[in-house]
Structures are given as C-alpha cells and as structure tokens.
Structure 1
Amino acid sequence: MLKGFKEFITKGNVIDLAVAVVIGGAFTAIVNAVVSAIINPLVALFFKADAAGRFGPQLTSIYGEPVTFPLGELISAVISFLAVAIVVYFVFVVPMNKWKERQAAKNPAVEEETLPSEQELLIEIRDALRKHDAH
C-alpha cells in the first residue's frame, strides 16, 4: 500500500500541480509588489491614469465620457503569470525531471511484451480456423 502511494506521489503530474499551486500562491505577493512598484509606473509614463487609477489609452465614448482601456492591468497579469511560471519551472520542474532521469537510469525499465497488431491477430485466427477445418 505504501509503495503504491509512493508511486502516486512521485508521478510528475501530481508533484508539478502541487508545486504550482503552492508556489503560485506564495509568490503572488512578490509579483504584485514588483508590478505595482515598477511596471505600473512605467506604463503610467506612456498612458494617463483614469479616475480609478487604471492606466491605458483613453478614448471618448459616444456620450462624451472618457473610456480607459486598462492595459496596465493586462500587462500586470501577463507579467505575474510569466514570473510564477518561470520560478515554478526552474526551481521545481527542472530538478524533478533530473531526479526522474536519475531514477530511470538506476532502474532501467523492463520492456513490456508488445501486443500483436489487429492484423496479426486476424491472421492467427484465420490460420487456426483453417487448421480446425482441415481436421
């Protein structure tokens, strides 16, 4: 039972998913701070903020009111995603893949017997029927 649990836990998909969730949650505060302290001011250099503090190009609506396309929020979301993905990949996925490679080198997989193809099975059935009919 413990061996099965160990195999389940050491499968890459389970580990990758768990790591992504935990690190993503923990890393969010850092990424948000970087985005608000560095990225948003850089975007603000090129785009005027609206009354709600959103950055992006402003157009006048048909009612005469300014409408802001919040590119700052979009850029922040993209940067946050990329930062989390990079950290998770290089800190957790790459080492886990190397660990799996080492484990595979220590325990080379025994090649499973390949099953016959559908055509081979049909030929065997045909030959068996011919042999049976001949008797």
Structure 2
Amino acid sequence: MARISGRSMVRLRAGFLVLAALSYLSFVAGRWTAALFSLGFLWAAAIGILVALLLALAASRLDRVAYLIIAAIVTLFGAFTAYDFARGPIDFSQGTATVLAFIAALLLAAAFWDFANLLREFRAWAASRAEAPR
C-alpha cells in the first residue's frame, strides 16, 4: 500500500492550479474561436476541449527554452485578455483591471512553473521505474 506523504496535499493543490489555468486558456480560446466563426456554445466547448488536449500534449514535448518562451507568451496573452475583459464588457477602472490582469498573470505563471515541475518529477519517476530491476 502506498504511503501518503506530507507533500501530497501541496501537490494536489498545485494540480488544481494547473487545471484552472488550462481551463481558463481553453475557455478563452474556445469562446473566441466560436465567436469569430459565429458558432454556438457546444462548438465553443468542443474547441476548448480540443485546445486543452493539444496544449497539454504540446507542452509535455517541449524543451526548456521553448517551454519558457511559450509560457511567457501565453501568460502575457492571458493577462491581456483579463485586462481587456475587465476594461471592456465589465467596465472596471484602469487600476482594478490592471490588478485583475496581474493576478491572472501570476496564476498562469505559477501554473506553468508547476506543470514544468510535474513533468520533471514524472520523467524522473519513469526513468527510475525503467532502471529498477524486476
């Protein structure tokens, strides 16, 4: 039976952060694409799910420099989207929109950092399993 360590709860919370960031990015991409082509809600959901799968697959195969560049671009895009939404449809003040965009950028950056750590831990675990005698 596997023993649950003290880090497992921290890892579980960090996993939720990665899931929240992936959901946010998929929602934005699905909604934007569906609105661009005048598609309905179900198409937006399908596009969002496809984007989530493609993002996870692509991010798991990148080297470190490419991953950091893409993470920075996506984080900036997410912050801009949050700022634009807060200023446009919601009509928040510039200061409030900036704070919300900063929070979105922090959450996305933390999620990318954690996803990189999860991949590193998974690869180390898989390598140790491959080298272990049977």
TM-score, normalised to structure 1, is 0.38
Per residue, is there more helix in 1 or in 2?
2
TM-score by length of 2: 0.38
Structure with the higher fraction of residues in strand conformation: 1
